[in-house]
């Protein structure tokens, strides 16, 4: 009898914990996209107003931010410096794919949009690079607005369904 109750408590804790984990993933994605937005604004400023070369601009932006996203920009800058006949798009794609493994809270769509950004940077004039960055910032804004608008209800839903699912499973098994 005690074993059944302990098993039920374990099931409830595990399912509720899963709901809490999903809610934290939602909030983590929002924070990561907000950080990425801030970094792209810095990159835009470096390129547009500072007339900094892309390699140096990426390096400066990467140094301003700690963590996986900062390393992404620094890796891309290092790839530009060390490339031999490799296009910027390929260097950027390699840096993004490496960052994707380190930061799993972003969705595949987020990573694809970030990869697409690298295809249009570097070889265009400053005006076109600025427009490319503005287009990407617009896409980021849409994602951030969606996450903010639905964040509270989704997080509450995840935790509630986790707990309710655990209780249902306990009733079925006992």
pLDDT of 21 reads: 93
Is 75 among the domain residues?
yes
Judge contact between 29 and 105, C-beta under 8 A.
yes
Is 72 among the domain residues?
yes
Is 45 among the domain residues?
yes
Cite the DSSP H helix spans in 65-125: 68-82, 88-102, 108-119
Is 170 among the domain residues?
no
How many domains, the chain?
Answer: 1
pLDDT tens readout for residues 59-105: 999 998 888 888 888 988 888 877 766 778 888 888 888 888 888 88
Residues present in the chain in total: 174
Is 172 among the domain residues?
no
Distance CA 25, CA 71 (A): 21
Is 22 among the domain residues?
no
**What is the value of pTM for the model shown?**
0.85
Is 67 among the domain residues?
yes
Range of the domain at 41: 29-155
């Amino acid at each position: 009898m005690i074993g059944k109750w302990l098993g039920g408590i374990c099931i409830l804790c595990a399912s509720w914990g899963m709901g809490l984990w999903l809610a934290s993933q939602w909030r983590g994605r929002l924070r990561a996209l907000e950080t990425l937005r801030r970094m792209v604004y810095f990159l835009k400023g470096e390129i547009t107003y500072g007339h900094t070369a892309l390699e140096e601009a990426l390096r400066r932006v990467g140094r301003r931010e700690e963590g996986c996203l900062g390393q992404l920009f620094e890796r891309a800058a290092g790839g530009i410096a060390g490339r031999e006949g490799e296009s910027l798009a390929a260097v950027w794609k390699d840096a993004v794919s490496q960052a994707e493994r380190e930061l799993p809270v972003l969705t595949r769509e987020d990573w694809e949009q970030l990869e697409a950004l690298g295809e249009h940077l570097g070889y265009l004039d400053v005006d076109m690079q600025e427009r490319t960055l503005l287009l990407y910032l617009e896409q980021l804004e849409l994602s951030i607005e969606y996450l903010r608008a639905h964040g509270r209800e989704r997080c509450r839903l995840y935790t509630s369904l986790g707990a309710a699912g655990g209780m249902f499973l306990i009733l079925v098994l006992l």
